[in-house]
Amino acid sequence: MKVKELIEKLQDFDPEDMVVRDGYEGGVCEVIDISLKTVALNANQAWYYGDHEILSDGVSFKQYPDSAKARVVYIT
């Protein structure tokens, strides 16, 4: 989903509603930060990983030579 689409969808909700994200193994957590990140697209093949991999904290694009990279909005 693009930011434009997200903004359009969020306009249907009460601006006082809380925004949440998935918890570690279940439940949900309140969103505490939004930041820009660079990811390797479609880098992970195993079903238990997300499709894309954040390129930071020691993870370099060289580890994913077959993946395109993209800038994304990361919600934590």
Q: How confident is the model at residue 8 (pLDDT cuts 50, 70, 90)?
A: very high
| pLDDT 10s digits, 17-70 | 988 888 778 898 888 999 988 888 998 888 888 898 888 766 677 788 888 999
Whether the CB-CB separation of 31 and 19 falls below 8 Å is answered with yes
**CA 31 – CA 70 distance, rounded (Å):** 22
- pLDDT at position 21, please? 84
- pLDDT at position 11, please? 92
CA nearest neighbour of 56 among 37, 74, 73: 37
For 27, the token pair is 């439940």
- pLDDT at position 12, please? 93
